[in-house]
Amino acid sequence: MVLAAFLISTAAVLLGLGLIRGAQNAAREQGRGALENELAGFLDGAKATDSEHGTGSYEGLPVTLTLGHFEVAFEVQLEPAIIPYKELVERHAPAALKSRIAELSLTIDGKDRVRGAVPREPGLGENLVSIANRLPTVAALRALRKFAPGELLTKVDRAHSSADVDQILLQLTQHFPNAPETQDAIDLAAEREHGHPERVRERAARWLART
């Protein structure tokens, strides 16, 4: 009798725990789905691994988001520009863009990642709208990439060795194959190589063929 009562009570506890776990799993899935649906409103290929972490892309730029207790943080990976974006901002960004970057407290690290955050608000939608409103500024940052080929072209003339020149040409042909500055850099490098200018053009042509 005692054993039967024990078995019944144990079964009831296990059933209760199972119901609790089931409810928790359902709540987690609901939170994950809600985040994913909200992200799909402004990100392409939106995915949420749980209710606090999501990914997607904005105008082709990979975006990750993390919802913390006090803030919602985001990170955007910019396209490689070879020239650090910090330098491109300093030299080429309009004053309005520089002001907007400072106003939004956006940071750019050495790996061309833009980071920012907004205070956590009670409503998920409000948090993500704040993030979405910051992404056009990140896209404007990416637009500064167009100045990178010109920066690299000036480096060809200042390069100290043929190896340095080749490295610059490799970067230009790999990342900016269609930029006018790339052909200008090839011509300038060939002029520097007085003995065998054709070799410079042959190497550049091989690198361009790989893109």
Is 154 inside a domain boundary?
no
| Tens of pLDDT, residues 19-37 | 455 544 555 677 799 899 9
Model pLDDT, residue 169: 94
Q: Which domain holds residue 112?
A: 2-146
The answer to whether 107 and 115 are in contact (CB under 8 A) is yes
How far is the C-alpha of 168 from the C-alpha of 28, rounded, in Å?
A: 50
Task: Return the DSSP state at 137.
Answer: H
pLDDT value at residue 192: 81
Exposed/middle/buried for residue 41 (C-beta within 10 Å: 0-12, 13-18, 19+): exposed
| Between residues 113 and 120, the one the model is more confident about | 113
Of 127, 67, 138, the C-alpha closest to 104 is 138
Of 205, 143, 146, 142, the closest CA to residue 173 belongs to 205
Query: Of 146, 168, 188, which one is at a domain's C-terminal end?
Result: 146
**Is the same domain home to 16 and 114?**
yes
Q: Which residue matches tokens 């990416």? A: 142
Least confident of 17-31, 60-74, 144-158: 17-31
Residue 78 lies in a domain: yes
Q: In the block, which residue shows the tokens 């901002």?
A: 89
Q: What would the mean pLDDT of 202-210 be, rounded to a whole number?
A: 87
191 and 87 co-located in one domain: no
Contact 110, 24 (CB under 8 A): no
Q: What is the count of structural domains for the chain? A: 2
d(CA 137, CA 61): 12
Is 151 a member of any domain? no
Taking the C-alpha atoms of residue 124 and residue 210, their distance in angstroms, rounded to an integer, is 45
Does some domain include residue 110? yes
CATH assignment at residue 30: 3.30.1460
Nearest residue to 83 via CA among 6, 37, 146: 146
Average pLDDT over residues 161-170: 91
Note the pLDDT of residue 23. 46
- Domain identity same for 25 and 123: yes
Contact 118, 174 (CB under 8 A): no
Q: Which is more confidently placed, 202 or 13?
A: 202
pLDDT for residue 124 is more than 70: yes
Residue 123 pLDDT? 79
Residue 22 has a pLDDT of 52
Q: Does the pLDDT of residue 198 top 60, yes or no?
A: yes
Residues 6+ apart with CB under 8 A from 174: 207, 210, 211
Tell me whether residue 166 is in a domain.
yes
| Amino acid 10: pLDDT | 56
% of the chain exceeding 90 in pLDDT? 64
Which contiguous run of DSSP H or E holds residue 71? strand 71-77
Provide the whole-model pTM.
0.80
**Structure confidence at residue 12 (pLDDT):** 53
